[in-house]
Structure 1
Amino acid sequence: MEPGVHNYSVVFSFEREWYEPKFLRYMLDRWTDSFTYSAIYVTVVFGGQFLMKTRPRYDLRPFLALWSGLLGVFSIMGAVRTMPELIASITNHSLQYSVCVPTYFKGVTSFWAFLFTISKVYELGDTVFIVLRKQRLIFLHWYHHITVLIYVWYSYTDHTAPGRWFMVMNYTVHSCMYTYYCLRALKFRFPQFVNMLITSLQLLQMIIGVSINIWIYQIKGRGEFCQQTYENLRYSSIMYFTYFILFAQFFYSTYIAKSPVERKKGE
């Protein structure tokens, strides 16, 4: 086992046989494809909304449940396989090591970093259900999808170290979120606090992201090593700060400003 690489007690064959340098070469050549995927996404989403204006909505509950269920299972597996490495990097080294040294691109977590990266393309499909079911499409939703896709693909080419935190947090929050969406599509009913909890977890993710970026600025300012370029750090800071503002505004308008009756109607 290489220094700094977490030693998993169970390693699956697909994790063991994964050859990360090949995917890195692909991303170095093709990471800008994320802009193409984003352009197609915008065209399909807003073109689809235009076409659906004169058409009845589709229910699609079984398909939505399947879609969300698959993403939920995938996210749970990703969280289970990546979180031990994050914990080990903190306990065996330090908190600063966990945000500055990208050893998660080796071993088991390199496979899940690869899946995390390409999953941002597949997650664009979430919005198709919103369009076809004629639900309200808010700016936060499509802005979040596009910027995450582009940033994750761009960051992979640099093997950005704090991506370890961003990946684990995203897998963990999506584990809860997509499982919740699946159960809602299957007509399970939840009390209001569950909705608030999901949004609170998303907001907490953004707060931690902003905090990590501020800390990395301080680390680099002291002249210490941290595997993230200032250019990437600027993009990450802008992205996480805007997410924080948008999620905070969404939380306020959905759970605080609205009356209980209005919230009930919106469900």
Structure 2
Amino acid sequence: MIQLSPPTLSTSVHLTGSAHTTCMLLSHSPQPRLVVNAPSHSYKKKIEFRKKEIKDASAMVSVTPSLTVAAVSLTASSPSLSNPFMYVHHYILNFKGGKAHQWMCASTHAPLVIVVCYLVLVHGGPRVFARLLGDKPMPGLTPIVAIWNLFFSIASTIGFCYCAPFLFRVVTMENSELPGLAPKKDRITGEWDQHPHIRGGLFTSLCYWNRNIFEDGATAFWLLAFNLSKIFELMDTVFLLLKRKPIPFIHWYHHTSVMLFCWNAHVSGISNGLGFAVMNMFVHAILYFYYFMCVCGQRKLVRPFAPIVTLLQVSQMFIGLALMLYTTWLYATHPGGCDTNAFSLAFGTVMYLSYIILFVKLFRDSYLLKPDSHERRRCAKVS
């Protein structure tokens, strides 16, 4: 009787990726050979079992790679699975602020409503809180205020570390073009430039607006966070009311005016906003940490730095006014003009000029006329 020889094991298929499965394929011997014995029943069962194994392994070949690719794709698109800090950094670098900008443009009434409510709180709040709390501050407020100040100090520091190096590169790249600029519409001709070729320098840092600087990307994220933070900083006034402390004019005037200016700056797309934001982030990183130390009971430790903190604020106002006046001059005389508007320039000039008057007076009253009371004034958060 003629019978085929038993199947021999040959070709192996090895799956790569997350699954490692080896399936064995059967191949017949090249030629039949004569055997005397007839095929047994057990041998036929073995052949059927091997065929079933091959079928199951083939199914795994078609399914497993797709699962592997899906797992790899999920890991690559979700940095939070491995490192939440890298996820946040990835989000900031790839930030798209178009929707936020559209919302702010469509909500120009929002800052006005906030200011009205804030002024009602400033002038009517002391009597309300006097009835609720009497002359005693709200209990349990110290740790909340400490965390609040520390949060703003850390956030300002991180924002400064993102924005300051970029601003420095823009100012110093006078002999090279800025990379990664988005298509921009020419303010004079109205035509779109798909590939802007703009060199760096002081003029560019003050007079050039591009979507990939002020609306999308890491710098845009921190500028948006900076502008919106001026709303949250109004909580400083609430904390003063809860601590049963007076609200000086410089405090509420500074908060309301800077919030309105920052909202207008973001909506209008002023070209010189980055410089003001970087300065303010630097000063606030120090200022809020100073307040944090005061709240934590370290007044004696930070007392020698009180005049320096106020002097930093005064210097910021002088530099801000100088940049605003220089931008106004470029806006009026430079052939290329500036990506800003006359209202924003006038608003900023008046605002910084008033700040100079108020903060110089604060410095004089706190450290020149009444040197013994400067620590009490500084820890009262007058600005």
Q: Fold-level match, TM-score > 0.5?
A: yes
Distance 2:149 2:313 in 1: 17
Counterparts of 1:222 and 1:263, CA distance in 2: 44
- Compared CA separation, residues 120 and 265, structure 1 to 2 (3 A): closer
The whole-number CA distance in structure 1 between the counterparts of 2:119 and 2:91 is 34
Sort the Cα spacing of 1:72 and 1:117 in 2 relative to 1 into closer, same or farther, 3 A.
Answer: same
The aligned counterpart of 1:31 is 108
Say whether 1:89 aligns with 2:162: no
Q: How many residues align?
A: 257
2:150 matched to 1:69? yes
Aligned to 1:4: none
Alignment of 1:182-221 (within 5 A): 182-188=292-298, 189-221=300-332
Question: Do the aligned partners of 1:102 and 1:164 also contact (CA within 8 Å) in 2?
Answer: no
Q: Which has the higher contact order (CA 8 A, sep 6+)?
A: 1
CA distance in 1, matches of 2:290, 2:122: 23
Residue of structure 2 aligned with 1:222, choices 328, 333, 345: 333
1:180-201 CA distance string (max 9 Å, x none): 1111111113354311111111
- Quickly say closer, same or farther: Cα 1:141–1:264, change in 2 above 3 A: closer
1:217–1:265 distance in 2 versus 1, CA, 3 Å:
closer
Task: Verify the 8 A CA contact 2:101 2:266 in the aligned structure 1.
Answer: yes
Following the alignment from structure 1 to structure 2, what is the Cα–Cα distance between the partners of residues 66 and 211?
Answer: 35
Which structure 1 residue ranges, 4+ long, deviate > 6 Å from structure 2? none
1:44-76 alpha-carbon deviations (Å, 9 max, x no partner): 233221123351223522111011011111111
Higher strand share goes to which structure? 2
CA distance in 1 between partners of 2:363 and 2:349 (Å): 21
CA contact (8 A) 2:92 2:217 kept: yes
Structure with the higher fraction of residues in helix conformation: 1
Measure how far apart 1:102 and its partner are.
Answer: 2.5
Q: Is the 8 A contact 2:205 2:271 kept in 1?
A: yes
Name structure 1 gaps, 5 residues minimum.
1-9
Alignment of 1:221-260 (within 5 A): 221-224=332-335, 225-260=337-372
Percentage of identical aligned residues: 27
Q: 1:165 aligns with which of 267, 270, 275?
A: 275
Which of 130, 139, 143 is equivalent to 2:249? Answer: 139
Pair 1:58-2:141 in alignment:
no
Unaligned ranges ≥5, structure 2: 1-86, 174-199
Q: Is the 8 A contact 1:32 1:154 kept in 2?
A: no
Q: Once structures 1 and 2 are overlaid, which stretch shifts more, 212-221 or 75-84?
A: 212-221
Give the C-alpha shift of residue 32 in structure 1.
2.5
